[in-house]
Structure formats: C-alpha cells, structure tokens
Amino acid sequence: MYDAVSRLRGLKPAVILTALILINSALCQTCAQADLSFGIGARDLEPLDNVATADPTGPYGVGITFETYCSDDRNLTVSIWYPATPEDGSSPYVSSGGIVGRAYEDAPLDPSGGPYPLILFSAGLGAVHDAYYFYLQNLASHGYVVTSAQHLDARRANTTASAALQLIAAADALAGNTNDAVITLYTDWFRETEYAFAYRPQEIGLNLDRTLALAGDPGSRFYGSVDAGRVGMTGHSLGGFFANVVGGGAAVHCDYAMRPGEGDPGNPLLASASPCAFGAVRALPGPRALRDGRVGAVLPLAAPSFLAKDQIARSAAAIGVPVMVMTGDNFTSETTAWIQRAVYENVAAPAYYVQVRDADHYFVADAYGLNPDLPAKGDEDGVDFLDKAAVYMTYSAAFFNLYLKGNTSALDTLHGTYSSYVKELKYRND
C-alpha cells in the first residue's frame, strides 16, 4: 500500500507552515483579531438561522466576551464564557454558526461565587471557537470561567486533494478506523504542522497564561475572579488529544523500535508515521515535556491519537490527573472507540468513560451537529437533541465539580446512569 500511494502521489514541499507562521507574526504586530467567520477549516459553511441550542443547567447566568492575545510569534483570539448577571432585555449571543443559547455578550460578571475555577477548551481540527455553544455555556453556568481558542487551523486546515488518499480515508471510515481516516484526509495539514505539535501546545499555553493574567489586571472584568490554583482542561477531537498531552501529561515516547516508514516524515500514508518523525516532537526534552502542571483535571471529548497503536496504552499510563473520556457511538464518524477506551483503561488516576448513544463526532459541536450542510455528520444528531446534550452537560459538570471544586456529592452523578442515552458508563480509581 505504501508503494502504491507513493506512485500515485509525490510529496508536496512543506512550505505552508512557514507561510502561516509569517502571516501569524505579521498579524501579531497589530494584535488583530483572528478570522472568526463560520466554517470548518478552509471550507466556508452557511450559518444556521438562529437555531436554539440546549439551555444551561447551572445556577449562574452566562456572559461571553472576546480577547485577542499576542506574543512575539502568535496571535490568538479567544472567547471567554463566564458566570454573569445579564441585563434585563438584552439579547443572547448568536454564534458564528447561527446557534442561539443563553450567553450574553459582555454581560457583567457575577462575583458572588468567585474566584471561579478556570477551564481551558481546545476545539477540534478546523472547528471555530464558539461551535460548542451548549457545552461551553453550561460549564460557565456551573461556576467556571471557560476560555475557548480560535486555533490556527480553525479557518485554514484543508482536506487533501489526492483522490487516492480520499478513497483510503473513506475506506478507513467505513471500517470504523476513523482515527486514521481523519489523518489521511488532512494529510497535508498534519504533515505541514507536524501533527499540530508545531502550534497547538503553544496556543494552549498562551491562552492559559494570558487568561490568568487577566485575573491580575485591575482593568479587566476578571480581576480577582479566577482561581489560578484550580484549572481544568477539556477539548474535542484534536483538542481532546492535546488535553490529554498538555493537561494530563500523556507521554509521547520516541524510544521504541519503529516499523518501516514510521519514522519517515514524508511517508505518503501519514497515518503510518509517528509524531516522532517530526522535529517538533524530537526536540522535546522528554516524553512529558508538554505537560502543564497547572492543570488538575482533563476531559477529552472524542480524542484521537497520533501515536503508534502499540504506544497508546503506555502513553495513557503517564497521565497523572483525573480524566473523563466522553464520546458518541457512531461507528463510521466518531473517533475510534478502542483508542479512547485504551486511554480510560490505562490512566493511573481516577478515570471515567461515558459513551453517548446515537451521537456522532459532531454532536457536541452544535453548530456543526445541527447544520445540514456538513455531509460528514450522521443523521441522528437532531433526534432527541436535548436529551443527548443533557448527558454531555450533566457528566462534564459533575466531573469538574468533583475535581476542581471538591464537591463529593458529584460522585452520585458520576456513578449513576440516569438517561437511556448513556450507552456505557465506567469508572476506575475514584
């Protein structure tokens, strides 16, 4: 297969990453806001027409505001969702994807429960920062400040133009190997950005640093309202992978005997190449070098893995904080189930596994899961949407309530199956 694809397609020069870095650096000179238009990667999508999402379940109102963080080499726009006291008569925020919830732009922060724990959110590959409306506003309604980044790939990642690779990706998806299907479909982007190790960890760190800095700025609405000692991280898909690595300390080992082609960054079948083939990973001083010790709990949503299949369990064993793995059950669109179970089964810390019935990969991102113009999604997302959204909201809030707030009553929720849409619930070490 390797030779066949090699004949079908020559390697492209890795120039796009260099161009992106130059563009990004130029933007940072003026600290310009990122492109926040709606789409998935480089593909534009027509927003929905003000479609309502699930209401938040917590006791707080919700506000949303925007910040653009700049450093020497990076320009990052984030949305921050927070406990708030919305003014009477104000209209809720409409997301870039046309979703309407119960968050209000620039609403006054509610200081009554502060300082609040901070939760970092990292979106899926190509996903915009506010595509997860019900999920993000719900965490804020339970007394968290939640910051979601518009990552570099949000409006730039593109699928491969190679017909051969598209066919391979489609065959993998039909066989349930969705993990490799996505890598193959986005071969160009992943090769040029070294499996996103060239920018995602840096953006996550910048988001955390600058959001915490707001809490120390007397001119910020968040002054004194964020607890730097209670930080969690959650992310979807690609963001879930980096939640495990950056937030949890999942190890990236490069000390094992690799198969032929696994150490080749030019491998035409990129899914067969290890992250260790790339300089961004080889330059790390250790397997857990990307771990940010400020993060105390992680919740990966449908997280894939770029590691060699026989290294996933070893990697997960290095995670040293509580983990909740949440995923849908769609065989041909949701992230490969055994990979996610391997993370759950090998974490030494408290671990939870929640599988949601009749939910595909895009469900938790309501701007995509409810959008009929996204052909890759399943047909089931709009069926009993509120009931399935309640599963995501209930278990995620309970998890962070236990491990960031110390609310032991949350264990009753974490140990109970309250909905027919909970297909599988498991827990260990708690």
Band of the pLDDT at 10, cuts 50, 70, 90? very low
Band of the pLDDT at 351, cuts 50, 70, 90? very high
What percent of the chain clears pLDDT 70, i.e. is strictly above it? 91
Counting every residue written for the chain, the total comes to 430
What's the pLDDT band for 374 if we cut at 50, 70, 90? Answer: confident
Cβ neighbour number for residue 142 with a 10 Å cutoff: 26
User: What is d(CA 362, CA 367) in angstroms, rounded to the nearest whole number?
Assistant: 9
pLDDT at 228 over 80: yes
- The per-residue pLDDT for 375 is 64
Per-residue pLDDT, 237? 98
Give mean pLDDT, residues 363-380. Answer: 83
Spatial CB neighbours of 260, under 8 Å, sequence gap ≥ 6 = none
Q: What is the pLDDT of residue 373?
A: 82
- Mean confidence (pLDDT) of the chain: 92
Of these ranges, 2-16, 229-243, 371-385, the one predicted with the greatest mean pLDDT is 229-243
Indicate the pLDDT class of residue 376, thresholds 50, 70 and 90.
low
Query: Which residue is it, tokens 């071969």?
Result: 187
At 377 the pLDDT is 63
Options 3.40.50.1820, 3.40.50.300, 3.30.70.260, 1.20.58.220; CATH of 2-428: 3.40.50.1820
Q: What residues does each domain of the chain span?
A: 2-428
Predicted confidence at residue 382, as pLDDT, reads: 75
Mean pLDDT over residues 392-410, rounded?
99
User: What pLDDT, on a 0 to 100 scale, did the predictor assign at position 16?
Assistant: 39
CA 350, 117, 388, 204 dihedral sign is negative
Mean pLDDT of 293-303: 99
Whole-angstrom distance, CA of residue 415 vs CA of residue 430: 10
Query: Minimum mean pLDDT among 2-6, 51-55, 78-82, 386-390: which range?
Result: 2-6
d(CA 410, CA 176): 34
What is the pLDDT averaged over residues 53-79?
Answer: 93
- Specify the pLDDT at position 71: 73
Residue 378 pLDDT: 63
What CA–CA distance (Å, rounded) separates 245 from 318? 9
Of 224, 77, 240, whose CA–CA distance to 148 is shortest? 77
- State the Cα–Cα distance between residues 165 and 93, nearest whole angstrom: 40
Q: What pLDDT band is residue 103 in, cutting at 50, 70 and 90?
A: very high
